[in-house]
Chains A and B, each alone.
Chain A
Amino acid sequence: MSTNNNIAQARKLVEQLRIEAGIERIKVSKAAADLMSYCDQHARSDPLLVGVPTSENPFKDKKPCIIL
């Protein structure tokens, strides 16, 4: 019966919204500070960010060696 379905759907939506409204949240300033500190901590080990010397990067072409 479609009417009962509509009620069931509406009930589910209300339940879902109740759950979402009840979760704990933190301030954006705190969240942003945490994101920034994570980036900072890991920046040095990020090869695409800081670049890696050609000799260590397997993808960068090395100059061919010449055997004299």
Chain B
Amino acid sequence: MCDQTFMAATFGPCDSCGKASPLMNIYIKSEAINYCSFCVEMMACQQLQKGETLQSLKKESDSLKKKLEEERGKLNDVELHQVAEKVEVLSSLSIKTRRVLKGHGNKVLCVDWCKDKRRLVSSSQDGKAIVWDAFTLNKVSEISLSVFYFDSNAQNGLDNKCSVVPLSLDKNENLAAKKKSVAMHTNYVSGCTFTNSDMQLLTSSGDGTCALWDVESGQLLQSFHGHTADVLSLDLAPSETGNTFVSGGCDMKANVWDMRSGQNIQSFESHESDINCVRYYPSGDAFASASDDATCRFYDLRADREVAVYQKDSVIFGASSVDFSLSGRLLFAGYNDYTINVWDVLKGTRVSILFGHENRVSRVRVSPDGTALCSASWDNTLRIWA
């Protein structure tokens, strides 16, 4: 019988592999490293072969990228607009400004419709959020906050937080007092949306991540890493059982994520500049994006590729926002040249231009029942088109 004596003074989980084993107490540049003997050897080898490992990984990633392109290319048997040739050409639309909502003292940056299809909430650089009744043009309430962007009833500010303000029909309620801070990022919050259950909030941030929060406790449930620059926009997939969302950012990429695992499922990189807005097609099988490169693009998720580009030589200003009509046939896009272009999603042609705003269009939103389009602009007004 012989006693096996280990030289190690400690036993515990290895800092590198996590397995419990005798640890080698070594110091690198006076920093204590508690690795098991296997990991110490691996570390020593990696340093020596650092060049090789990095190189072999780079080779593998390059070959995988090529393989991805090939796989996607194999399925590109026809273009969307070619298939759409059989579809009838759209007759000219009679969409005009029906209402102009004045009341903000500065650029209107964001707007969204309430589920009751008649109330709208908008936020402006003047630091106020106003709830409007779109039919009567009455201002239902006005909330003073350091708000900049919001979606539904949540407001984002440049204080890196996202707050939820409950809206009620009681005019006497002090809404600002009920404001509850939910999300906290390390940079500005660019976009947010409630999930299907209304109990969770999804946010996108200038810190390059997206995050899922529990509204009641304010706790971070999941974070989504993958973008290499500011994330400017996100949209939740429309299905009721939906667990995915798409995000777009300054790294020119649009990523699709699984909300439960935090995994980046698909990634699309065809824009040539910042993606300002992403929006799902009503069926949930595709999404559109608006970018500073003056194009809007349409991506099909099941074919895993871009299937249409909405551009014209005469359109040279960046697009800030997009939204689909109820059937998904029309794509409304707001641009920095003060116009809204209406595109035929299937044929790829422009159907109409909506003039009226006197400064950049910052956001366009179709009402939940599809009867009207609301646009927010830097000219301090909102317009309702129908």
Residues of B within 8 A of A45 (CB): 326-327, 370
Contact at A39–B80, with CB atoms within 8 Å? no
Bound Cα distance A14, B56 (Å): 11
| Closest chain A CB from B95 CB (angstroms) | 6
Closest to A61 in B: B98
Closest to B53 in A: A7
A66, CB-defined interface residue at 8 Å: no
Q: What interface size band does chain A fall in?
A: 35 or more
B81-123 CB contacts (< 8 Å) to partner A: 83-84, 87, 90, 93-95, 98-99, 118
Contact at B325–A48, with CB atoms within 8 Å? yes
Q: What interface size band does chain B fall in?
A: 35 or more
| Closest chain A CB from B193 CB (angstroms) | 22
Contact at A49–B67, with CB atoms within 8 Å? no
Q: From B135, B267, B300, B329, give the contact of A43 (CB < 8 A).
A: B329
A36, CB-defined interface residue at 8 Å: yes
Closest to B342 in A: A48
B346, CB-defined interface residue at 8 Å: yes
Q: Knowing A14-B60, A35-B346, A38-B282 touch, does A48 contact B68 (C-beta < 8 A)?
A: no
Contact at B330–A49, with CB atoms within 8 Å? yes
Closest to B136 in A: A58
Bound Cα distance A45, B226 (Å): 39
Residues of B within 8 A of A46 (CB): 325-327, 329-330, 370
Contact at B371–A31, with CB atoms within 8 Å? no
Instruction: Identify whether the interface residues of A are mostly helix, strand, loop, or mixed.
Output: helix
| Closest chain B CB from A41 CB (angstroms) | 8
Contact at A25–B326, with CB atoms within 8 Å? no
Q: Mark A1-37, 1 if CB is under 8 A from B, else 0.
A: 0011011001101101111110101111111111110
| Closest chain B CB from A59 CB (angstroms) | 4
B7, CB-defined interface residue at 8 Å: no
Q: From A29, A42, A59, give the contact of B78 (CB < 8 A).
A: A29
Contact at B326–A26, with CB atoms within 8 Å? no
Bound Cα distance A20, B276 (Å): 24
Contact at B328–A38, with CB atoms within 8 Å? yes
B10, CB-defined interface residue at 8 Å: no
Q: Mark B293-312, 1 if CB is under 8 A from A, else 0.
A: 00000001011110100000
Q: List 5 A-B contacts (CB under 8 A).
A: A23-B265, A27-B75, A30-B303, A34-B285, A47-B386
Of all A-B residue pairs in the complex, the 7 with the closest CB atoms, nearest first, are: A42-B327, A46-B327, A17-B64, A10-B57, A59-B386, A32-B83, A31-B303
